[in-house]
Structures are given as C-alpha cells and as structure tokens.
Chain A
Amino acid sequence: MCLVVALCASLPEPPNAMGVAHPVHATLRKGGPEGRHAGVLALGWAFGVLQIAFFVGLLVLGTRSKLGNRGAMVRVLPGALVYLATWTALVLAYAHARGRWLGFPPATAIMLVGLWPAPLVFVALYMRGFRSLVYGPDEARAFKAIMARQREAAPARKP
C-alpha cells in the first residue's frame, strides 16, 4: 500500500485531481471532467484491492488462534470474494455505466447499496459462528483455568 501511495506521488496530477473551486458558489467544490481519473483508475482499483486484502488478513488474524490460519481463511473467504467483487463492480460501473440506478449514478448506487453493506457478510459470520470461530465453551473453560491459576499465584499481580 505504501508502494501504491509512492506511485501516486510520482504521477503528474491533473489540475482538477482534487476538484476545483465552484465558479458560482464559494462554499462548494466541483470535480470537473471525469477524465481526471483516466491515469489513476487502475491504481485506485489496486489500492482498493490491497485495502480489502489487508482487512481480510486482519479478520483472519483475529480468528486464527481458534481455527488456525487455513481454517480462518476458509471461513472468511466467501465474504472476501463478495467484498472484492462489489468493489470491482463499482470501479467498472464508474468507468463504463451511465444512466441512473435507484436514482443515483450506477457506481454511486453500488457504493451505497453494495460496498457499504458488503462487509455485513463478516458481521453475520461473527454472529452466527461466534462459538466455533471466536469464543466457544472450550475457550471459556480454558480461560477459567487461566484465571484460577492466576488467583493461586501469589502475590496477586497488579495491572
């Protein structure tokens, strides 16, 4: 990701890369012609993919103690694919689709009703699979045992 950011720094910035002042309304900004993203669309897509990969990696990190790397990855994979597909669809819609979906430009509609809720797959996994994925009766028993050993150890440890 640092590499992507460094690559961005090396690219020439179009004058409206971050928008321009609105010619009529001082408190508004304008994006200007869509061509401003022509040179960075692929880089932006890659930036998004790397973010998703990193997030998914962290989700695996949070669950691997119980399932191991492979087991955690298998459980998280379907959600990751949904997330990645939604992101790719958003970028493609921005580049190619015109008209309106649900009253919005297609890419914006995908952002609002696709990308926003896409990670809810992970939330559902966390809720439904909590005992097998995160913390089940075995872990609760093991934690009780750790606490019991802790109490027996003298003197009591302070935080």
Chain B
Amino acid sequence: MEPLRTPIVLACVGVYMLSCIVVGAWAMRRTHSAKDFFVAGRDLGVMVTALAVFSSTLSGFGFVGGPGLVYSLGMSSIWMIIASSIGYALSFFLLGKRIRLFAELRDSVSLPDAVAARYRSEAARFLTALAILLGVMGYLATQILAMATVLQSVLTRTDTFSQISLGACVTLSCAVLVFYSVAGGIIASVYTDMLQGAVMVVAALMVLIAAILAVDGGVPAIVDIIAADDREAANPWGTLGMLGTLSWYFVFALGGAGQPHVVTKLMMNRRVEDARHILPVSILGYSVSALLWISIGLTMRALVLSGGHPELPGADAAAAEFLQHYAHPLLAGVVFAGLFAAIMSTADAFLNIGAAAVIHDIPRALGSTAIKPERELFWARVATAVTAVAAAVFAMYSHYENQRLVALLGAFGWGTFAAALVPTVAIGFNWKRASARAACVAIVSSLVINLAIELFKLRLPFGINGGAASLAVSLTLFFCVSFMGPPPPIDPDVEAVMDL
C-alpha cells in the first residue's frame, strides 16, 4: 500500500474538501438573514454546538505547532492542553448562561453587540471589535499560510503538481474555505466544524495507537529514552521550567473565556439549559484530539534521541515526519484531512466574527446606519469574502516580503484576546461593578502590551509568557479602574438578566 500513500492522502483530503462544499451549499439554503449568518438563528443543538466549540479552539497549531513544541521542549507545552479542563469549566460557569441570555435579550449577533449592551458604551463596542479585527487578520493569515503550506507539501509529491507554487495553494485552499463561509455563514461553519471535530477525534485516536507502536516498549520506553537524555524533559515542567509552564497554564486556562470565535458559539445554542451537556462533550472532544499533540511530540523526541530517526529539519516538521514514516497510508490520509479540518474550523470561525466586526460592529460603534438591516446578509457575505482575500494577500505578502508581519499580528492571538476579553466579557458580564471605562482600559492595555512584547522582542524572566503577564496586568487595571469610579449605570433589563 506504500506506493499508494500520496494518492490515498490526496483522496482523503479531496473527500474532506468536497464534504465542506456540500455542507456549504446545504447551509446556504438555511441562511436567510444576518442573524442566521452570524449566530445560526440561535437554534443549534447540543452536539453541533459542542463540536463547534472544541474544534474552533483547536486550530492548526494543535496539529503542527503543538507536536513540534512537545518534541522540542518535552512536557512543557502539555500544560497548554491540561489547562483545557479548567478552561472550559471557567468559560461555561462564567458565560454559558450569561452570554446566551444577553444574546436573546438584545437580539445580539456578535460579541461586541453584547459588550455594548452590557456597558452602554459604543467605545467598548468599538474597541472590542477592533481587537477582534486585528486578531482575526493575524490568526487568519497564519491559518491560511499553514493550510497552503500543508497542501503544497501534499501536492508536490505528485508528478502533476510537483512544481505547484504556494500562491496557487493559497488560492485552492481559500476557494473552498471562502465558498462555504460566504454561502452558509456560521451555519456552514458549525456544521463543517462538526464534521471537522469528528475527523480530528478519529485521527487523534489512531495516531495515539500508531505513536505508541512506533517505539518498542511503548510509553514506558518512550519516557525512559527521553528521561535518560534529560530527566527534566520528562518531568512536568519540561525544559522550559516551572514558572514558564505555569504562566502558559494561566493564560490558556483563563484565556479560553476570552476567545471571541469560541465564546460567540455560546450565543448560538437553542436553549440555555443545553450548556450543561455542551460542556462535557466539548472537553472530551478537545482532550481526545489533543492526544495527537502529545503522542507525536513525545514519540518523535524519543525516536530522534535514540537514533531511530534522523534529526528533523525543524521542530514543526515533527507531525509531517511522523505521518510520512510511521503512519499507515490510510491513517496519514485521515490525519491530513484532520489537519485541514483543524485549520479550517478555526479559520471559518474567524472569518465570521471578522465579517461581523467589519459590517456590523464598527459601523454601529461609529454611529453609521449606512447598512440597512435587510441588506446586512448581502454585505455580510461580501465582507466575509473581502476579509478572506485580504488575509490571504496579507499572508502572501508577509511570506515573501516581511515574515515578521504575520508573526506580529499572530501575536494578537490567544494572549491578546485573553487579556482584552476575559476582563471585559467573562468577568464584566457577571460583575455589576465593572465599568465601561475599565473595559476600555483593559482592551487598550492588552493591545499595547502584547504589541510591545512582540515588537521589541521583550523577554520576561524564567520564561514567563508575555500573554500571561499582559492578562495579569489587564485584570489588575480592570479591577482598579472599576473600583476607582462610582458604580456604573446598567440598563434595567440587562441588570435583571445579570441577577438571574
């Protein structure tokens, strides 16, 4: 079956892409309004929402960067994964009920809508939308670049496409993404997420078995090899050290409640009560999928250390090398499809909230009524396509001209969203004392601190993560500014919902 490896991988990826197109075409028929396009008419079932929540959280980073980090740093990055259990619990305790009620109360179609309702502040709406838009451009460009790079690595193994350019791969992969995101909006996004989540879980379970079998003696032998070379790499803090890994735990546990593409999904379930079932399914799906991250990283580290596999060209090649050399062709096909699933499930969610920021949130914050509600669906589709094209152009420009650009805006990722939106949304939606000024200060400080850390390449002592420091500072500012002023006025209906 080995000679058929490339055709099998291509077939799996092809079937997956085709499924996304079919879902997109189906979802288009169910999308009749901007409310359908952005929040799926708030009519999603438990399984769809749960799988959408976890698959949006696990981006291409989990399938490429994650195994690379475990390979390079040992156990350190596993703290990002184990943070998921408390992270999801925090998100649901703080927002599972609250954000769903706010969304219904004010007919919100986006997170900035809910922020504006809570704080009675267009400035808070604008800053939330701006933070989302900046983060979306960076995240989306990174995802598009990752998707194109993976597609290129698959296609160049064939005779026909051996010379295919990165630009052509960006166009090909974006075409599918844009089609279903434009046609079906968030409905296509969440139903493809469901498919993507299922593919990721299956891929992760199969990889776990293959990874254990790749080294004689299984898990104990893998750990023995790693510990014999460096005991610390097998210890819980890995090579990064205790304080560095704990800072990752902090930002990944708490930061989940500030990821707009994930939090927005909590506005879409049919009934408030569904949250109690969505939470365990999301945690289970994420935890199982993350086994791929752990198992490939540890196995490749053990194989390289024991001389069973040559040195990798780079840490991020760990997953690709594993699939190429230690996975059955069928498994490789499923995992490559899973990889596209991971990337596209995050990218489509970002496209949707980015489009909402462009046509809905920022214009409203600036007082514009240029887009009539009945034309919002049309402009939502236009904005989705334009956002995708802009991110693709940005990704290509950055790749060829200035590689720091994507990294710079990519840094406006998890940590920035966490520092900006955990205080504003996760805490502010539950704490009446929180003021609009405090929310604005938290958002601005998160943007400034994260940009400064990336721009000036600031290094914190003991490997403490910049996003964690920024989150700690923005939380402190949020509480201080809130306490410094008088209790803020809250609309009676919003206050009544906060009392529930």
Least CB distance from B373 to A in Å reads 8
- Per the bound structure, the CA–CA distance linking A30 and B86 in Å amounts to 29
* A51–B253 CB distance below 8 A: yes
Asked whether A73 is an interface residue with its Cβ less than 8 Å from the other chain, the reply is no
* B311–A27 CB distance below 8 A: yes
Chain B contacts with A in 421-438, Cβ cutoff 8 A: 426-427, 430-431
* B90–A59 CB distance below 8 A: yes
* B243–A28 CB distance below 8 A: no
State whether A55 and B90 are in contact (beta carbons under 8 Å apart), knowing that A28-B72, A44-B243, A147-B104 are contacts in the complex: yes
Chain B contacts with A in 13-50, Cβ cutoff 8 A: none
* B242–A41 CB distance below 8 A: yes
Q: Which of B105-113, B146-154, B379-387 contacts A (4 or more CB under 8 A)?
A: B105-113
The listed residue with most A CB atoms (<10 A of its CB), out of B85, B95, B104, is B85
* B72–A94 CB distance below 8 A: no
State whether A159 and B116 are in contact (beta carbons under 8 Å apart), knowing that A9-B460, A55-B253 are contacts in the complex: yes
- Per the bound structure, the CA–CA distance linking A133 and B101 in Å amounts to 16
Contact flags (1/0) for A34-71 with B, using CB distance below 8 Å?
Answer: 10110011011001100100110011011101100000
Q: Which of chain A's residues have a CB closer than 8 A to the CB of B82?
A: 111-112, 115-116
Asked whether B473 is an interface residue with its Cβ less than 8 Å from the other chain, the reply is yes
Chain B contacts with A in 264-318, Cβ cutoff 8 A: 272-273, 275-277, 279-280, 283, 287, 301, 304-305, 311-315
State whether A126 and B89 are in contact (beta carbons under 8 Å apart), knowing that A44-B246, A58-B426 are contacts in the complex: yes
Q: Which of chain B's residues have a CB closer than 8 A to the CB of A48?
A: 246, 249
Asked whether A31 is an interface residue with its Cβ less than 8 Å from the other chain, the reply is yes
Contact flags (1/0) for B71-89 with A, using CB distance below 8 Å?
Answer: 1111100110110011011
Asked whether B500 is an interface residue with its Cβ less than 8 Å from the other chain, the reply is yes
* A94–B73 CB distance below 8 A: no
- Per the bound structure, the CA–CA distance linking A19 and B231 in Å amounts to 12
Asked whether A154 is an interface residue with its Cβ less than 8 Å from the other chain, the reply is no
* B301–A159 CB distance below 8 A: no
State whether A18 and B240 are in contact (beta carbons under 8 Å apart), knowing that A13-B461, A26-B311, A51-B250 are contacts in the complex: yes
Main secondary structure of the interface of A (DSSP, over half): helix
State whether A8 and B498 are in contact (beta carbons under 8 Å apart), knowing that A30-B239, A150-B493 are contacts in the complex: no
* B242–A40 CB distance below 8 A: yes
State whether A58 and B93 are in contact (beta carbons under 8 Å apart), knowing that A25-B304, A104-B223, A150-B105 are contacts in the complex: yes
- Per the bound structure, the CA–CA distance linking A28 and B223 in Å amounts to 15
Looking across the interface, which residue of chain B has its beta carbon closest to that of A102?
A: B219
Main secondary structure of the interface of B (DSSP, over half): helix
The listed residue with most B CB atoms (<10 A of its CB), out of A94, A104, A127, A147, is A104
- Per the bound structure, the CA–CA distance linking A57 and B287 in Å amounts to 24
- Per the bound structure, the CA–CA distance linking A27 and B312 in Å amounts to 7
- Per the bound structure, the CA–CA distance linking A88 and B272 in Å amounts to 36
Contact flags (1/0) for B210-249 with A, using CB distance below 8 Å?
Answer: 0000000011100100010111111111111111101001
The interface on chain B, measured as residues whose beta carbon lies within 8 A of the other chain's beta carbons, has a size of 93
Asked whether B401 is an interface residue with its Cβ less than 8 Å from the other chain, the reply is no
Q: Which of chain B's residues have a CB closer than 8 A to the CB of A112?
A: 78, 82
- Per the bound structure, the CA–CA distance linking A103 and B277 in Å amounts to 34
- Per the bound structure, the CA–CA distance linking A45 and B389 in Å amounts to 47
Least CB distance from A79 to B in Å reads 9
- Per the bound structure, the CA–CA distance linking A156 and B220 in Å amounts to 64
Asked whether A74 is an interface residue with its Cβ less than 8 Å from the other chain, the reply is no
* B246–A51 CB distance below 8 A: yes
- Per the bound structure, the CA–CA distance linking A120 and B231 in Å amounts to 30
Q: Which of chain A's residues have a CB closer than 8 A to the CB of B101?
A: 143
Return the contact of B238 from the options A25, A31, A120, A157 (Cβ within 8 A): A31
* A107–B94 CB distance below 8 A: no
Looking across the interface, which residue of chain A has its beta carbon closest to that of B500?
A: A139
Q: Which of chain A's residues have a CB closer than 8 A to the CB of B244?
A: 18
The listed residue with most B CB atoms (<10 A of its CB), out of A18, A48, A65, A107, is A18
Asked whether B175 is an interface residue with its Cβ less than 8 Å from the other chain, the reply is no
- Per the bound structure, the CA–CA distance linking A81 and B223 in Å amounts to 30
Chain A contacts with B in 56-111, Cβ cutoff 8 A: 58-59, 61-63, 65-66, 83, 90, 94, 100, 103-105, 107-108, 110-111
- Per the bound structure, the CA–CA distance linking A83 and B74 in Å amounts to 24
Asked whether B469 is an interface residue with its Cβ less than 8 Å from the other chain, the reply is yes
* B472–A5 CB distance below 8 A: yes
- Per the bound structure, the CA–CA distance linking A83 and B90 in Å amounts to 14
Looking across the interface, which residue of chain B has its beta carbon closest to that of A146?
A: B496
- Per the bound structure, the CA–CA distance linking A28 and B230 in Å amounts to 11
Looking across the interface, which residue of chain A has its beta carbon closest to that of B364?
A: A159
Chain B contacts with A in 398-457, Cβ cutoff 8 A: 426-427, 430-431
Return the contact of A159 from the options B95, B113, B283, B313 (Cβ within 8 A): B113
- Per the bound structure, the CA–CA distance linking A117 and B375 in Å amounts to 47
Asked whether B166 is an interface residue with its Cβ less than 8 Å from the other chain, the reply is no
- Per the bound structure, the CA–CA distance linking A146 and B236 in Å amounts to 50
Q: Which of chain B's residues have a CB closer than 8 A to the CB of A122?
A: 86, 89, 93
Looking across the interface, which residue of chain A has its beta carbon closest to that of B253?
A: A55
Asked whether B335 is an interface residue with its Cβ less than 8 Å from the other chain, the reply is no
Q: Which of chain B's residues have a CB closer than 8 A to the CB of A33?
A: 232
* A62–B430 CB distance below 8 A: yes
* A126–B92 CB distance below 8 A: yes
Least CB distance from A104 to B in Å reads 6
Least CB distance from B477 to A in Å reads 10
Contact flags (1/0) for A127-159 with B, using CB distance below 8 Å?
Answer: 100100011000110110011011000000111
Can you name 8 A-B residue pairings with CB atoms under 8 Å?
Answer: A8-B243, A8-B461, A19-B238, A31-B237, A51-B250, A126-B93, A126-B276, A150-B105
With contacts A62-B98, A142-B496 known, what are 13 further pairs, Cβ within 8 A? A1-B472, A18-B462, A19-B238, A30-B229, A65-B430, A65-B499, A94-B235, A108-B223, A127-B279, A135-B272, A157-B106, A159-B109, A159-B117
